[in-house]
Amino acid sequence: MFGELLKEFRIVNGYTQKDLAIKLANKSAEFQQVDFVTISRWERGITSPNNAKALRVLRCLIMDVQPFLKSLYDYRSSTALDNFMVERFGAKELLSTLAAFNIELPSNKKEFGFGKVIKEVNDPILKRIREYHTLFNQERLDLFNVDLYLYQEEHKLHGYRFYYESKPENIIAHSISFFIDTEELEEEVRDNGCDIDIRIASKYKSSGRYSMYLASGTITSEDLFKYHWIQQIKFLSTHSNIDKFYTSVMSETVVPFLLSIGFEVVATKNPVKVGGIKIGRRRYERCLMKIDTSVLLTSKEALSLIADYL
């Protein structure tokens, strides 16, 4: 499929194989050694890069890489994902937190619906999110240093609200992410570590390179976790110029799972003696992790999720 998509793009746009090699070299330093011979071999299926690299080639050329991901369907369940689900969503701490917020556990993924996280200027969900972060992860109250509704309407923020199809007014979970210029976010992390200033969020455009920073979310069950990530993966697969994905992690069960997928720890905050998360031999209050979206989208975990949905 990779070779077919490459050839289709070349022919539709009137490129020779040499033209395409030059275009790739201009788009990414990674492909400066690719020549027309390599393009020819890729198109004929004689050789092929690994899935993540193939996706990086395609995202230099097209925005929607869903056709390529469909060709990689993996109908096998991911053991790492299955084990993470049991450990994460069966934890007594999570159940206690849900009870404290009077959050009902979803029981059937077919009942779920989703929409834009903020529907109006003074959406009641904003109060709910503020209350949540007042009691849990107070540092995330920095969300309210900006006009979240305006950021969403200006395409600086991308988020979801999740609910039962039969009760759309009953919000059972949310997620909020920000678009940030990739190079600017890398500089922000170098300067400030985990403390990303969300005011540097960028208006998403079809040109340019962006990272997505998942800043806030409440996911309450295994099925809802899967449903949420299916929406995220579908979005990323149709916006291929989002090349990095970042998330702040405070839960110890999350770190080893994300590392197994291909995430890396890029910053830590506040060393602690007990609790927190363990990185190597040390413990920290939180960490910031990132992954190239080409690795995320072609991971076995992602492919096992989207197999029934794309």
pLDDT tens-digit series, residues 143-177: 999 999 999 999 999 999 999 888 888 888 999 99
Q: Indicate the pLDDT class of residue 219, thresholds 50, 70 and 90.
A: confident
Q: How many CB atoms lie within 10 A of CB 205?
A: 10
Instruction: Please choose, from the candidates 165, 120, 169, the residue with its C-alpha nearest in 3D space to the C-alpha of residue 147.
Output: 120
Tell me, yes or no, whether 55 lies in a domain. no
- Provide the token pair at 240: 């291929």
Residues 112 and 191 reside in one and the same domain: yes
**CATH, residue 136:** 3.40.630.30
**Residue 224 clears pLDDT 60, i.e. is over it:** yes
Q: How many CB atoms lie within 10 A of CB 95?
A: 13
**Residue 206 clears pLDDT 60, i.e. is over it:** yes
Residues 88 and 224 reside in one and the same domain: yes
Residues 121 and 231 reside in one and the same domain: yes
User: What residues contact 202, with CB distance under 8 A and at least 6 apart?
Assistant: 156, 179, 180, 181, 184, 208, 210
- Looking at residue 15, the DSSP 8-state letter turns out to be -
Residues 36 and 93 reside in one and the same domain: no
Q: How many CB atoms lie within 10 A of CB 70?
A: 14
In degrees and rounded to multiples of 5, residue 257 shows phi and psi of: -65, -45
Length of the chain in terms of residues written: 310
Tell me, yes or no, whether 142 lies in a domain. yes
Residues 187 and 265 reside in one and the same domain: yes
Residues 43 and 83 reside in one and the same domain: no
Tell me, yes or no, whether 98 lies in a domain. yes
Number of domains forming the structure of the chain: 2
User: Picking from 17-31, 32-46, 67-81, which range would have the lowest pLDDT averaged per residue?
Assistant: 67-81
Residues 177 and 294 reside in one and the same domain: yes
Q: Which domain holds residue 267?
A: 79-306
- Stronger pLDDT, 120 or 222, i.e. the higher one: 120
Q: Indicate the pLDDT class of residue 100, thresholds 50, 70 and 90.
A: very low
Tell me, yes or no, whether 57 lies in a domain. no
Residues 14 and 103 reside in one and the same domain: no
> What is the b/e burial string over 140-171, where b = at least 16 CB atoms within 10 angstroms of the residue's CB?
beebeebebbebbeeebbbbbbbbbeeeeeeb
DSSP β-ladder status, 282-292 and 277-279: antiparallel
Give the CA-trace dihedral at 114, 116, 122, 125, to 10 degrees. Answer: 40
Give the 3-state secondary structure of residue 122: coil
Give the 3-state secondary structure of residue 86: helix
Residues 41 and 182 reside in one and the same domain: no
**Residue 57 clears pLDDT 90, i.e. is over it:** yes
Rg of the chain, C-alpha, whole Å: 20
- Provide the token pair at 107: 């029981």
Residues 162 and 29 reside in one and the same domain: no
Given this model, what pLDDT does residue 218 score? 84
Place of tokens 């030059």: 22
Residues 98 and 180 reside in one and the same domain: yes
**Residue 93 clears pLDDT 60, i.e. is over it:** no
Residues 181 and 298 reside in one and the same domain: yes
Place of tokens 């450990």: 87
Place of tokens 């999350």: 254
Tell me, yes or no, whether 71 lies in a domain. no
Among the ranges 93-97, 120-124, 210-214, 304-308, which has the highest mean pLDDT value? 210-214
Tell me, yes or no, whether 25 lies in a domain. yes
